[in-house]
């Protein structure tokens, strides 16, 4: 399966975001053009509804003359009350508590990474269960967290290993699903 992280978002450095919906930065248009060159032929495209994902997904769907499927479960982690705030303005005590165990600790009115794993894994299982499309020609356009979830689930990366790498913007990443039992 081919995963693409959205193009570079149009948001200043140091701002906390996950579900905050924003457009892509100027460089994002160049990244989309390169993704159109680098992404192999597709028969199915599923994307997060975020504008930054849709911009790339629509271009790929038009290239392939395919209908685009949007799936809410592919959103980035919900950062709750911290969405759109500068990290420097977030209560240090609260952020330190969250950082002690982001896998299990939620941000205020947000979600924890374990919750992201649950919804993303269910989405990917549903994609895999549809055998009418070749998985190698299926693209998922999403955010860093859903890509990390898939890497952890399919390749056995630990939480720490997955977060030590940052998926590049608008670049196809091939991740092979585990063998599907018949």
Q: What does the pLDDT average to over 32-50?
A: 98
pTM of the model: 0.94
What pLDDT is recorded for position 133? 86
Quickly tell me which residue has 């590049």 as its tokens: 168
DSSP H helices, 39-178, are 51-64, 92-100, 113-129, 144-155, 159-164
- Supply the DSSP symbol for 9: B
182 has pLDDT over 80: no
Q: Report the CATH number of the 2-174 domain.
A: 3.40.50.1240
- Tens digit of pLDDT for each residue in 93-139? 999 999 999 999 999 999 999 999 999 999 999 999 998 888 899 99
Q: Could you read off the pLDDT of 137-164 as tens digits, one per residue?
A: 999 999 999 999 999 999 999 989 999 9
Q: What are the extents of the domains in the chain?
A: 2-174
């Amino acid at each position: 399966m081919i995963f693409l992280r959205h193009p570079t978002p149009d948001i200043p450095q140091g701002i906390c975001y996950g579900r905050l919906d924003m457009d892509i930065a100027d460089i994002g248009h160049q990244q989309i053009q390169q993704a159109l060159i680098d992404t192999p032929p597709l028969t199915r495209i599923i994307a997060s509804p975020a504008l930054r994902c849709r911009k790339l997904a629509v271009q790929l769907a038009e290239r392939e003359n395919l209908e685009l499927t949007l799936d809410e479960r592919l959103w980035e982690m919900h950062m709750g009350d911290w969405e759109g705030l500068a990290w420097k303005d977030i209560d240090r005590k609260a952020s330190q508590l969250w950082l002690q165990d982001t896998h299990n600790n939620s941000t205020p009115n947000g979600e924890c990474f374990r919750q992201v794993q649950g919804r993303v894994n269910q989405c990917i299982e549903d994609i895999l269960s549809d055998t009418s499309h070749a998985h190698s020609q299926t693209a998922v356009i999403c955010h860093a967290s859903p890509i990390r979830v898939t890497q952890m689930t399919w390749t056995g990366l630990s939480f720490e290993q997955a977060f030590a790498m940052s998926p590049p913007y608008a670049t196809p990443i091939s991740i092979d699903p585990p063998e599907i039992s018949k």
